[in-house]
Amino acid sequence: MASVRITHEATCELVGELARLTGESPEAAVDAAVRERLARVHRRHADRLADRLLAISADAARRLPADLGAADPSNQLYDEAGLPESRAEQLP
């Protein structure tokens, strides 16, 4: 990747201050700062995605019949003898 050249004077001063306070080189200070910021951005993105998925699932749950989870699925899968229900007669 190409090197980065910072021409904005205020940014150069901030990099210098950060480097002095941390005892790092300017390059190391910028590297750490960019990594920390990127991690925060990724976390915010992940949080927003999780929130969107929760909203979708809540919306889907509201649209389902209230008694959906109450039904015993084995009633539809097995006959009175406990054998698998034949669905051949239901085929088109």
**Stretch 13-37: mean pLDDT, rounded?**
96
Amino acid at 5: R
- Judged against a pLDDT cut of 80, whether residue 75 lies above it is answered with no
Q: In which band, very low, low, confident or very high, does the pLDDT at 90 lie, cut at 50, 70 and 90?
A: low
- What is the value of pTM for the model shown? 0.55
Domain ranges, ordered by start, for the chain = 9-62
Annotate 70-91 with three-state secondary structure: HCCCHHHHECCCCCECCCHHHC
The whole-number pLDDT of residue 1 equals: 67
The whole-number pLDDT of residue 92 equals: 52
